[in-house]
Amino acid sequence: MTINGMQTERAPMPLWKRFWILFTVIWVFVALLDALTTLAFAEEIPPDRVLTLLAVAVVVPAALYAVGWLRDWLRRRP
């Protein structure tokens, strides 16, 4: 790869990050479908129900990334 005329080598993305990206896309899509379905078809929605669903859509992938990063960091330590 060339950036501003300089040759740079790009390290391949670790496998756990690729799986994390795949999981995150699927997880967020399903969580949004769940939240939208709840909004569209529920008779009475508890006030925190949709906010909880959206928070879980963000928190779970972030926590899994932290676990993967920590595992990677611990494996590289001498």
pLDDT by residue (tens digit) across 13-60? 889 999 999 999 999 999 999 988 988 888 888 878 888 988 999 999
Q: Which range marks the domain in which residue 42 is found?
A: 14-76
pLDDT of residue 20: 93
Please state the domain count of the chain: 1
For residues 31 and 10, the model is more confident at 31
Enter the pTM of the model.
0.76
Please indicate, yes or no, if residue 7 is contained in any of the structural domains: no
Please indicate, yes or no, if residue 9 is contained in any of the structural domains: no
Helix (H) or strand (E) holding 52: helix 49-76
Please indicate, yes or no, if residue 8 is contained in any of the structural domains: no
Phi, psi (5° rounding) for residue 77?
Answer: -65, 145
> Residue written as tokens 């690729």?
18
